Amino acid sequence: MFYVIGLGLSDEKDITVKGLEAIKGCERVYLESYTSILMVSKERLEAFYEKEVIIATREMVELEADEILRDSDKIDVAFLVVGDPLGATTHTDLLLRARSLSIPTSVIHNASILTALGSTGLQMYNFGQTLSLVFYTETWRPDSWFERLEENLRIGVHTLVLLDIKVREQSEENMARGRLIYEPPRYMNPHQAFSQILLTESLRHPKDPSSSSSSSNNGDVDVDVEVKESLLPPASTLAISLSRIGTPTQKLISGTLEELAQLSEEEFGEPLHSVVIVGKKLHPLEFEYAGRFAVGGEAGGWWKVGKEVYGVERETF
pLDDT digits (tens, 9 = 90+) for 83-127: 999 886 668 889 999 999 999 999 999 999 999 999 999 999 999
Q: What is the pLDDT of residue 297?
A: 95
Pick the CATH number of 115-308 from 3.40.50.300, 3.30.950.10, 2.40.10.350, 3.40.50.620: 3.30.950.10
pLDDT higher at 225 or 185: 185
Question: Is 169's pLDDT higher than 90?
Answer: no
Any known ligand binding at 23? no
What CATH architecture applies to the domain 2-111?
Answer: 3-Layer(aba) Sandwich (3.40)
Rounded CA separation 134/288 (Å): 31
pTM of the model: 0.88
On the question of pLDDT at 313 being above 80, the answer is: yes
Instruction: Judge if 2-111 and 115-308 fold alike in CATH terms.
Output: no
Residue boundaries of the structural domains of the chain = 2-111, 115-308
Is 230 marked as a binding-site residue? no
Q: How far apart are the first and last CA of the chain?
A: 52
3-state secondary structure the chain: CEEEEECECCCHHHCCHHHHHHHHCCCEEEEECCCCCCCCCHHHHHHHHCCCCEEECHHHHHHCHHHHHCCCCCCCEEEEECECCCCCHHHHHHHHHHHHCCCCEEEECCCCHHHHHHHHCCCHHHECCCEEECCCCCCCCCCHHHHHHHHHHHCCCEEEEEECEECCCCCHHHHHCCCCCCCCCEECCHHHHHHHHHHHHHHHCCCCHHHHCCECCCCCECCCCCCCCCCCCHHHCEEEEEECCCCCCCEEEEEEHHHHHCCCHHHHCCCCEEEEECCCCCCHHHHHHHHHHECCHHHCHHHHHHHHCCCCCCCCC
* Weakest-pLDDT range from 7-11, 36-40, 117-121, 197-201: 36-40
Does the pLDDT of residue 180 top 80, yes or no? no
163 among annotated binding-site residues: yes
The answer on pLDDT for 82 being more than 80 is yes
b/e map of 92-106 (b: 16 or more CB within 10 Å)? eebbebbeeeebebe
Residue 63 has what pLDDT? Answer: 86
Q: Does 9 belong to an annotated binding site?
A: yes
Confidence of residue 217 (pLDDT cuts 50, 70, 90): very low
Instruction: Check whether 222 has a pLDDT greater than 50.
Output: no
> Residues 310, 311, 313, CA angle at the centre, nearest 5°?
120
- For residue 114, say whether it is annotated as part of any ligand binding site: no
Q: What is the rounded average pLDDT of the residues 130-156?
A: 95
User: Looking at residue 171, what is its pLDDT?
Assistant: 66
Asked whether the predicted pLDDT for residue 212 surpasses 70, the reply is no
Residue 223's pLDDT is 42
pLDDT recorded at residue 48? 96
Is residue 119 marked as binding? Answer: no
